[in-house]
């Protein structure tokens, strides 16, 4: 199961070309993850592969096509976690590492740390052999236009029609292990080194074989304050909530606190669910039963 961000997307208002590009990107990401799982691969490999496809796709706010910070640069955040041993890795503020989600995985597997940031994160990724690019590689003309438009409104401006284009993936493999991955460029015109929920384990990303794997998209500050991804797993473990109820109730709490967004999750038993409180969420899922969905708008779009 994957998401490409939740936000203000509405039928008839979302540019047709943008919608078509997003649906194609979601389908390509599903293909990448499905191929690994169908061959008996791990959930971690599947979510990394799906996230990499979305990071390379300018239709989404992660990797190439990320939004710009107020200083005109792109800063990428990402996290990955596996549910068997609850190992996790995350990076924040990357400016030159082409594959943020792969950097996060390197942190998980090849370092004693969970989260590293800024220049140190790029240095670690470079030493780990990951491809480095100029920051301009991440930038697209449309993202530059969005920044210029927002800055023209003043430093306190906020995009009311925002699309939280964070990308994410969750999966369960044939051994019943779950994994989650999340990657983002953050918010347009962010300042002061702002970091959202995506790279924070337990907030925007979490995986636990005792409950579920979860990836979030939305107003990160509220997802951090609710420890949203972990909260879902806690409600399942300690309160006996099913997956859909846990997602819906956590999003309701986020709404009560002034936030909005979406969540995707999957359990070790293969139950999968998504929930969102914005007009739309780029999303898709595919299962071993052959079922497949790619959707953008409300439930009527799930086909």
Q: Which residues are catalytic?
A: 166
The response to whether 130 counts as a known ligand-binding position is no
d(CA 58, CA 167): 12
d(CA 300, CA 98): 36
User: What is each CA distance from 201 to 13, 120, 227, in whole angstroms?
Assistant: 34, 19, 9
The response to whether 202 counts as a known ligand-binding position is no
The response to whether 287 counts as a known ligand-binding position is no
The response to whether 218 counts as a known ligand-binding position is yes
The response to whether 71 counts as a known ligand-binding position is no
d(CA 295, CA 284): 6
- Asked if 166 and 61 touch (Cβ cutoff 8 Å), the reply is yes
The response to whether 220 counts as a known ligand-binding position is yes
- Asked if 100 and 62 touch (Cβ cutoff 8 Å), the reply is yes
The response to whether 217 counts as a known ligand-binding position is yes
Burial readout 50-88 (b: 16 or more C-beta within 10 A, e: otherwise):
bbbbbbbbbbbbbbbbbbbbbeeebbbbbbbbbbbeebb
The response to whether 195 counts as a known ligand-binding position is yes
d(CA 62, CA 156): 24
Annotated binding site for substrate: which residue ranges?
194-197, 217-220
Annotated binding site: which residue ranges?
194-197, 217-220
């Amino acid at each position: 199961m994957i998401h490409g961000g939740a936000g203000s997307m509405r039928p008839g208002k979302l540019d047709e070309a943008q919608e078509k590009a997003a649906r194609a990107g979601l389908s390509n990401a599903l293909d990448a993850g499905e191929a690994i799982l169908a061959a008996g691969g791990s959930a971690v490999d599947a979510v990394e592969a799906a996230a990499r496809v979305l990071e390379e796709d300018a239709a989404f706010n992660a990797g190439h096509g990320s939004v710009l910070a107020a200083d005109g640069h792109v800063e990428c955040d990402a996290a990955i976690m596996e549910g068997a041993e609850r190992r996790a890795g995350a990076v924040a503020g990357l400016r030159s590492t082409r594959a943020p989600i792969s950097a996060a995985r390197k942190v998980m597997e090849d370092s004693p740390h969970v989260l590293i940031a800024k220049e140190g994160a790029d240095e670690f990724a470079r030493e780990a052999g990951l491809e480095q690019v100029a920051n301009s590689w991440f930038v697209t003309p449309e993202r530059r236009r969005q920044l210029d438009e927002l800055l023209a409104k003043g430093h306190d401006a906020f995009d009311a029609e925002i699309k939280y284009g964070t990308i994410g993936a969750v999966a369960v493999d044939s051994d019943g292990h779950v994994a989650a991955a999340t990657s983002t460029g953050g918010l347009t015109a962010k300042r002061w080194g702002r970091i959202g929920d995506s790279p924070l384990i337990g907030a925007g990303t979490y995986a636990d074989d005792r409950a579920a794997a979860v990836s979030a998209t939305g107003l990160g500050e509220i997802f951090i304050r609710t420890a949203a991804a972990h909260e879902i797993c806690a409600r399942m473990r300690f309160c006996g909530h099913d997956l859909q109820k846990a997602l819906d109730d956590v999003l309701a709490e986020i709404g009560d606190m002034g936030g909005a967004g979406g969540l995707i999750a999957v359990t070790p038993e293969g139950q999968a669910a998504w929930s969102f409180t914005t007009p739309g969420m780029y999303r898709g899922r595919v299962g071993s039963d052959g079922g497949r969905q790619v959707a953008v708008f409300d439930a009527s779009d799930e086909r």
